[in-house]
Structure 1
Amino acid sequence: MTRNDFILETKQLTREFKGFIAVDGVNLQIKRGSIHALIGPNGAGKTTVFNLLTKFLPVSSGQIIYNGQDITALKAAEVARMGMVRSFQISAVFPHLSVLENVRIGLQRKLGTSFHFWKPESSLNTLNEQAMHLLEQVDLASFAQTETVQLPYGRKRALEIATTLALDPELMLLDEPTQGMGHEDVSRVVDLIRKVSANRTVLMVEHNMNVIADLSDTITVLARGSVLAEGPYAQVSKDPRVLEAYVGTVEEAA
């Protein structure tokens, strides 16, 4: 396997907070076109890794390589423009706009016209067809004119994915996409992630192991800020070190 097969790599990625090492020398290789899951017990460093990758936190040491380019020193907006987008970065933050309008704003950001408020609204209608196409992809076309605040929780997460897709990401990072959902919503979002992962790469943090088993090509397990294990679900789920990390967490919490 060559370097070109990996869309994202980290080399000895480290983040320290006043003497506490939250992420400790993490090496990741995310294969292009795959669904890669990042899991681990609470406090393992998953969210911190996500924050480092998407430039919400600066790296203490190490490198982040995206499509062969060192992006370690770049800013969040620069990384997003390169095609690496985290779902909540451009989620539906306008609860009193319609579902369609929220996706249209995402498309405006892609075009760099987000803040051209002086343009007549009619000029935005050219984006409506694209927005409706995205809503169809996430099964929200029938909710296009619904005020976003009225959407059920699971549908709001689908809208977040639609607004992410509006930026046409090559690598999509999903942070707990099924958190807080009932079984029906989880099944819908799993199907949605599988659908939108066609022709792109997905890196996700997720706690629901059924979702992980169903979707993931590769799983990286973090514990205490370091990589504990990596591989397909069938391998990782039987790894004694992984079982100990999770069981140990349960025992400590008991």
Structure 2
Amino acid sequence: MTSENVIETDGLTKEFKGFRAVNNVRLKVRRGTIHALIGPNGAGKTTCFNLITKFLQPTTGRILYNGRDITASRPHEIARMGLVRSFQISAVFPHLSVLENVRVALQRTLGTAYHFWKPERSVEVLDDRAMDLLEQVGVQSYAKLPAVELPYGRKRALEIATTLALDPEMLLLDEPMAGMGREDIKRISDLIQRVAKDRTVLMVEHNLSVVADLSDRITVLARGEILAEGSYAEVSKDPAVVEAYMGTGHG
């Protein structure tokens, strides 16, 4: 296992009652890259993603993060290591303001998470950093608005801000463009590019034009196995990939 890879899986396999959803996947995510996991419906993308982020336990195989075996680790443990899945821990407080959501995430770094009974002034020290994060993701003008009232694309941006508050080394994005219109897709794509400048990103994404624009490397899954890997130019010309997508319709 080499230090140039942040994540490596070795023989990653997951069975559900005899059905093999992921089969012997050997994935390598290089440090400092945006790596996309794509494939037709039923390819095993979500299962693979859930295994890496520890929301599922593999049947067999290993997962390494910076050379450390995290196969038996729990989601909160790998988050503390710097491996953070966005849109999972994110805007979970819809009736707190946009600023307060980021402030709660920042409190984790102080070891005072969820201490809502503490005096207001004890967490106000975090406001400058929270506003800085909101500015990074372009939602600073919504700071006082309850999170539930944010437009959909801006809510996704807030979710990235709450993730960045944990200062992750690696971001795992689960379908970041799902349900978005063209303008929001452009905004979130630009945001992912910015935050990826000093981080590693692994994303599952259905929108192939987004994948083409953002990804340094792509892994294509089909029927739970790796079908192809490479740049978008390489995998999009692969006859097996074309057949897999044309045969099932991509989704």
Q: If the length of structure 1 is used for normalisation, what is the TM-score?
A: 0.96
In the alignment, the residues of structure 2 paired with residue 27 and residue 55 of structure 1 have an alpha-carbon distance, to the nearest angstrom, of: 16
Partner of 1:109: 108
Amino acid at match of 2:177: T
8 A Cα contact 1:65 1:71, kept in partner: yes
Identity across the alignment (%): 67
Partner of 1:173: 172
Q: Is 1:45 the equivalent of 2:44?
A: yes
Shift of 1:50: 1.0
In the alignment, the residues of structure 2 paired with residue 111 and residue 39 of structure 1 have an alpha-carbon distance, to the nearest angstrom, of: 37
Amino acid at match of 2:3: N
After TM superposition, list the pairs within 5 Å mapping 1:50-61 onto structure 2. 50-61=49-60
Shift of 1:150: 1.1
In the alignment, the residues of structure 1 paired with residue 203 and residue 81 of structure 2 have an alpha-carbon distance, to the nearest angstrom, of: 18
Query: 1:4 is paired with a residue of what secondary structure?
Result: coil
Shift of 1:91: 1.0
Partner of 2:84: 85
In the alignment, the residues of structure 2 paired with residue 41 and residue 109 of structure 1 have an alpha-carbon distance, to the nearest angstrom, of: 37
Shift of 1:147: 1.1
Amino acid at match of 2:110: L
- Compare 84-93 and 237-246 and name the one that shifted more: 84-93
Shift of 1:110: 2.9
- Deviations 1:28-69 (Å, cap 9, x if unpaired)? 000000000000011111111111111111111100000110
In the alignment, the residues of structure 1 paired with residue 199 and residue 220 of structure 2 have an alpha-carbon distance, to the nearest angstrom, of: 22
Q: Is 1:8 the equivalent of 2:7?
A: yes
Aligned residue pair count: 251
Shift of 1:107: 0.7
- Deviations 1:221-251 (Å, cap 9, x if unpaired)? 0001000000000000110000000111039
Q: Is 1:69 the equivalent of 2:68?
A: yes
In the alignment, the residues of structure 2 paired with residue 239 and residue 15 of structure 1 have an alpha-carbon distance, to the nearest angstrom, of: 26
Amino acid at match of 2:127: N
In the alignment, the residues of structure 1 paired with residue 94 and residue 6 of structure 2 have an alpha-carbon distance, to the nearest angstrom, of: 34
In the alignment, the residues of structure 2 paired with residue 106 and residue 117 of structure 1 have an alpha-carbon distance, to the nearest angstrom, of: 12
8 A Cα contact 1:216 1:233, kept in partner: yes
Q: If the length of structure 2 is used for normalisation, what is the TM-score?
A: 0.97
Shift of 1:79: 0.5
- Deviations 1:178-199 (Å, cap 9, x if unpaired)? 1111100000000000011011
After TM superposition, list the pairs within 5 Å mapping 1:90-239 onto structure 2. 90-239=89-238
8 A Cα contact 1:90 1:106, kept in partner: no
In the alignment, the residues of structure 2 paired with residue 247 and residue 24 of structure 1 have an alpha-carbon distance, to the nearest angstrom, of: 22
Unaligned runs of 5+ in 2: none
Shift of 1:152: 0.5
- Compare 103-112 and 195-204 and name the one that shifted more: 103-112
In the alignment, the residues of structure 1 paired with residue 222 and residue 79 of structure 2 have an alpha-carbon distance, to the nearest angstrom, of: 28
In the alignment, the residues of structure 2 paired with residue 105 and residue 249 of structure 1 have an alpha-carbon distance, to the nearest angstrom, of: 43
8 A Cα contact 2:104 2:114, kept in partner: no
- Deviations 1:90-123 (Å, cap 9, x if unpaired)? 2101111110000111111233211323321110
8 A Cα contact 1:190 1:211, kept in partner: yes
In the alignment, the residues of structure 1 paired with residue 81 and residue 157 of structure 2 have an alpha-carbon distance, to the nearest angstrom, of: 23
Query: 2:209 is paired with a residue of what secondary structure?
Result: helix
Amino acid at match of 1:79: I
Amino acid at match of 1:31: R
Partner of 2:27: 28
Unaligned runs of 5+ in 1: none
Amino acid at match of 1:87: S
